[in-house]
Structure 1
């Protein structure tokens, strides 16, 4: 049986990729407490995509959302108090994991038993995927993306694939399928197909 560790889970509609940055507004007590603990201990929480349901507990008897089983652990790299009273944080994606079990705590926080997945192999970007690098370079010049301060290695197939997957205007479920892939060049092949489809 795979070795698992306990990780607090934050079900969301965006997909977080390794090395990616995601700004969040925190207002529910269960997530405020989780973020404070993670910042105090220097520990991550897990971001998982919602398959069905809501990330907010709208009523006392609201159930937990249905989630996909592969996610990314998130490390808080910046925070500030917003004018609306919410806590604004920016997280950076770390390692991918698979959820093997989950349970709800008394404070309604979802906690998962997760297995960290093997690191993806470090591979260069082949000539057949150089166009994807050009597309990514164009995307990161946009002011809204530029201010995220993304760290991109344009010669690393993992980095190019992760950044393109999060920046392209594609459905979250498709992003999730790209996250789940463990081979960088397979992800680049799928991204090439998606770019061709977006062009019509």
Structure 2
């Protein structure tokens, strides 16, 4: 199914600040413990909609004060789609979410139940552009990482390994990066510039 055009997507989105960055196409496992998280999921369940994940300011800006900063979202985030859920042995709800479209938060408000909602501007989808020769090393690196990891992504297609956006997002997902580094990559609109940022992050 083709993605919903940006102009047709909702401008208001429930936001979940987390100490991690959700990237397009990437998966996060989420343990739902806080009342505001449960309220957010109940609201999404009633409307059948998705929600947004943003890095919480306390993680994005270490100098920020604790407390409210932990519940305040950074300005850039990713739509989260629930793929699966379960309840663990301790009775805690666990979710498997996958990243969709990127967005930028223009303003936020906090509802009475603690859920943060934001007026968002959706980012344009990544263009379908081939990997440039100067980034061929990154595709080889990604191929080896995925082979070692195994699983569903262990055997990427040649088309995927030649897709600048796909290679960039999957490397950003699998490399041992900090949350702030992933946020900087999420903020980058150009897939080739994103690959150049990744190249600069590799050890000598």
Please classify the TM superposition score into its range, dividing by the shorter chain length.
0.7 to 0.9
SS in 1 for 2:49: coil
Which residue in the other structure is 1:59 paired with? none
The CA deviation at 1:27 is 1.5
2:194 equivalent to 1:182:
no
Partner of 1:51: 57
Cα distance in 2 for partners of 1:21, 1:68 equals 19
CA shift for structure 1 position 92: 0.9
Tell me the matched-pair count.
Answer: 186
Aligned pairs (5 A) from 1:130-141: 130-141=136-147
8 Å CA contact 1:15, 1:166 repeated in 2:
no
The equivalent residue for 1:166 is 173
Contact 1:100–1:113 (CA under 8 A) maintained in structure 2? yes
Pairing partner for 1:192 from 192, 199, 202 = 199
Q: What does residue range 11-50 of structure 1 map to in structure 2 within 5 Å?
A: 11-39=17-45, 41-50=47-56
CA root-mean-square deviation: 2.3
Gaps of 5+ in 1: 55-61
Matched residue SS, 2:201:
helix
Deviations 1:149-188 (CA, angstroms, capped at 9, x unpaired) = 6996222111110111122112211111111000100111
**Any idea what the Cα deviations from partners look like across 1:132-151, whole Å, max 9, x if unmatched?**
111111212334xx457699
Q: What TM-score, normalized by structure 2, do the two folds share?
A: 0.82
Give, in whole Å, the separation in 2 of the partners of 1:119 and 1:108: 31
For 2:100, the equivalent position in structure 1 comes to: 94
Structure 1 length as normaliser, TM-score?
A: 0.84
Q: Structure 2: how far apart are the matches of 1:183 and 1:52?
A: 27
